[in-house]
A and B are shown apart, each in its own frame.
Chain A
Amino acid sequence: MFDLYWTTARTAVMVQLQYRMANYFYMIGMIAEPIIYLVVWSTIAAAQGGEVGGYTPGAFAAYYIVWTLVRNMNIVFTPYGWEWRIKHGELSAALLRPVHPLHFDIAYFAGWKFVVILLWLPLAGLLALLFPPTLHPTWLEVVVFCVAIWGAYLIRTMFLWLLGMVTFWTTRVSALYELYFACELLLSGRLVPMALLPAWARELAWFLPFQWTFGFPIEALVGQLTPHELLLGLAMQLLWILVGLGLVQLVWRAGVRRYGAVGG
């Protein structure tokens, strides 16, 4: 199993290193979004006498620069790809292999992430020059962050797999996806740090996996979380990975049975 992961991840690294420019264009297109949020909230913080919801313009800069890395860690096999997978028989080939196709996705995208992190570093440097961040992480925070981005990656892999597998039953899925992504955008800490949401929305977010994939990893590095909160966050990530994994197994079994019925 280790061999499978190692080889797939290495293949991904080599493939993606060939498409450096395409990868870069994609990343540059992506940074417009956090810059917009950053500018809007920095303007408001400045107008409110230096801070809003505990964030100074420098803290916002730190938040949204780290955001760009976490956003990249959140990119996994897209649910839109499932239709293609099923229609083009890709899945049939994957089913013939002796291991669960989930392993392949996890390994491939994990390998890709190493390329992404490498390409991200100069971009982060540039952003830090343009928007000076206030960032003084402790060693514990750095360690938790490095673990949490992979936790985020795994949670999102599970949940987008779940979403993608809806395609086993119907292909009219775009509306559902849009709705899911909208909820995710609002309740994950992607649009604004969780501290800026109204109390009821924060409470709602507690029962959902979203904030553990986005807000938590960022706050682990830039926020003022206590060691207790940091460990609690990691525990919540583990919990959601397990919940996601369980659901994936359940839906996958039902879905594959259905897939066989369609093809046979």
Chain B
Amino acid sequence: MSVLRLAYHYLRIGALNELQYRINFWLQLMQSAVALTVGLVGLSLVFYHTTDVAGWSRAELLAVMGVHILMGGLIGALIQPNMLRLMEDVKQGTLDFVLIKPVDAQALISVREIRLWRLVDVLVGMVVLGVALVQLGETLQLLALFAFGLALACGAVMIYSFWLILTSVAFWVIRVDDMINLFEGIYAAGRWPVGIYPAWLQGLLTFVVPVAFAVTVPAEALTARLDSSTLALACVLALLLFLLARLVWRTGLRRYGGASA
């Protein structure tokens, strides 16, 4: 059975489940609106005092914000809920139910949950991005759009791999719930281009928590700042991180005791 078809069915069932709770859509919309307003006010406050931040104009920073919201929506809808469920399963011993199924366990734990309404943020992010692009007044070339898509995909793979590594730590230390706070705090740093941070923090945001590749690099692709070597590096790193995550997951799995052990 192809993994893709399996993923499709899981996500469809998850989505149908979420569709029962329509009111959550409005709550999410409200939440997204408040978050967007705060973000926009923050941006205007900055540009109330200056005309550019480390070489980024207002419209360009708006584009960064758009990517940040978009990627945050993807993480919140697809990646984080699966990882939280995995943590819970490891703690409770209910991961057994995944392991006895005849498909690759990593594929299965990655598609079990979806928070459909968080995808509102993907739409909000796209709208913000669209507005930013109009303000920039550049005609988008097909190539830039392609680079953007590729960079975004690489970023998503890196965040997924990072989360899987983090969650796999649960096999050793069980209690990792506090890490969510930590991740969300650090992800918030992606609201601004990583270039403005001091060098040690840039390193952290690039190679430890791949926020730079998830947000800044895609935004660079759209604002004509990206060179092809950075994009190539993103692809290579995404692949490496994915392989590393798989390795850590498998090593961790060997330590898993199961509910009855």
Contacts and interface: CB of A to CB of B under 8 A. Distances in A.
Interface of A: 22, 25-26, 28-33, 35-36, 39-40, 43-44, 47-48, 52-53, 130, 174-175, 178-179, 182, 185-186, 191-192, 196-198
Nearest to A44: B50
Contacts of A29: 178, 181-182, 184-185
A31 B192 CA distance: 16
A262 B71 CA distance: 43
Contacts of B27: 174-175
Given A28-B182, A179-B34, A197-B45, A43 B189 contact: no
Contact of B188 (A36, A44, A48): A36
Tell which of B49, B189, B191 has the most Cβ of chain A within 10 Å: B49
Interface of B: 27, 30-31, 34, 37-38, 41-42, 45-46, 48-50, 52-54, 178-179, 181-182, 184-186, 188-189, 191-192, 196-198, 200-201
A39 B201 contact: yes
Given A36-B188, A197-B45, A22 B50 contact: no
Given A22-B178, A53-B49, A182 B196 contact: no
A25 B50 contact: no
A196 B189 contact: no
B178 A25 contact: yes
A209 to B, nearest CB: 19
Contacts of A32: 182, 185-186, 188-189
A196 B182 contact: no
A65 to B, nearest CB: 15
Contacts of A192: 45
Contacts of B53: 40, 43-44, 47
Contacts of B184: 29
* Closest 5 A/B residue pairs (Cβ): A32-B185, A29-B181, A25-B178, A29-B182, A29-B185
Given A39-B196, A52-B50, A191 B42 contact: yes
A47 B34 contact: no
Majority DSSP secondary structure for residues of A touching B: helix
Contacts of B198: 39, 130
12 contacts: A25-B179, A30-B181, A30-B185, A33-B188, A39-B198, A52-B49, A175-B31, A179-B34, A182-B34, A186-B41, A191-B45, A196-B48
Contacts of B186: 32
A202 to B, nearest CB: 12
Contacts of B31: 174-175, 178
A196 B45 contact: yes
Contacts of A198: 48
A56 to B, nearest CB: 14
Contact of A182 (B37, B46, B54): B37
Given A40-B192, A40-B196, A196 B181 contact: no
A36 B189 contact: yes
B87 to A, nearest CB: 14
Nearest to B26: A175
Contacts of A191: 38, 42, 45
Contacts of B38: 182, 185-186, 191
Contacts of A40: 46, 53, 192, 196
B45 A175 contact: no
Contacts of A33: 185, 188
Nearest to B190: A36
A48 B50 contact: yes
A185 B42 CA distance: 10
Nearest to B29: A175
A68 to B, nearest CB: 12
A182 B32 CA distance: 12
Contact of B182 (A25, A39, A52): A25
Contacts of A39: 192, 196-198, 201
A62 to B, nearest CB: 17
A198 B179 CA distance: 37
